[in-house]
Amino acid sequence: MYEIIETPNRIFLIMEHCCNGELFKYITSKNRLKEEEACRLFQQLISGIEYLGELGIAHRDIKPENFIITPKQHVQLIDFNVSRRWNPQTEKLMTETGTKMFNAPEILNSPSYDGKVDIWSIGASLYTLISGGLPPFYEENVARLKKMILEEEPPYDSIEFKNFEPLGLDLLKKMLTKDPKMRPSAKECLNHTWFSPLNIKSLNIYDQ
């Protein structure tokens, strides 16, 4: 937010112009992202989620449409309308909210959940980055979609995943673990070998 301008009839919010638009449109315009670009963007996404966690905020609606690309190829998280500030020591999150295709299983079938739901959703976003626009589970019928998320495993048999770097695929599968207790935290994700200095150098992700 740069400035707020008020007139007798309107309020204007002057914000940063992100000319590359939503991450989802950015993905589909390229068909799919190269691995080095997915690694670079995904590292930024997880860093943002880690920061939110430090502030005690669960976003609860993470998806590629809620990330925008700046002119310098950085990603920014938007749309906090269903986010919630909470204290994990004394409070539980209970509302079924967010976008179904990117919902973690525990949002759909548990009486309460925690910030790990954002880890699942960002994993589902990475899946979408790799596939070129398809989320791990897609079904127009909401009841069938819920059943798929709760009972089925994401398909990894397409050529995009077979050709994807094993370290990145390992992290993706861990983030899409159905049991939230076994799902890594944002900090654990950032410490994954996929983001190690040696691997980043081999991918040349900052030599674009």
Tell me the CATH number at 129.
1.10.510.10
The reported pLDDT for the residue numbered 148 is 97
Domain contains 180: yes
Smallest CA-to-CA distance from 125 within 190, 19, 44, 21 is with 44
In a domain, 10, yes or no: no
Asked, for residue 12, whether it belongs to a domain, the answer is no
Residue 118 annotated as catalytic:
no
User: Is residue 9 one of the residues assigned to a domain?
Assistant: no
Tell me, what's the pLDDT at 197? 66
The pLDDT score that the predictor gives to residue 201 is 58
Is position 8 within any domain?
Answer: no
Cβ atoms of 142 and 73 within 8 Å: the answer is no
Chunked into runs of 10 residues, the chain (208 residues) has average pLDDT values of: 85 74 74 78 91 94 90 84 89 92 96 94 92 91 97 92 91 97 96 79 49
Q: Determine, yes or no, domain membership for 3.
A: no
- DSSP H stretches of helix in 30-104: 35-54
pLDDT at 199 (0 to 100): 65
Residue 59: what pLDDT?
95
- What pTM does this model have? 0.85
Predicted pLDDT at 207: 42
Catalytic member of 61, 79, 118, 207: 61
pLDDT for res 160: 87
Domain that holds residue 91: 18-203
pLDDT score for 35 = 79
Q: Per the structure, how many domains does the chain have?
A: 1
Asked if residue 208 is part of any domain, the answer here is: no
Q: How far apart are CA 35 and CA 59, in angstroms?
A: 26
Query: Does residue 1 lie within any of the structural domains?
Result: no
Residue 196 phi/psi, 5-degree rounding, is -65, 150
3-state class (DSSP) for residue 160: helix
Give the end-to-end CA distance of the chain in Å, rounded to a whole number. 28
In sequence order, what are the residues at sequence separation of 6 or more whose Cβ sits closer than 8 angstroms to the Cβ of residue 121? 59, 60, 61, 62, 63, 98, 102, 103, 104
The pLDDT of residue 188 is 97
* Angle, helices 35-54/116-131, rounded to nearest 10 degrees: 160
- pLDDT for 72 equals 79
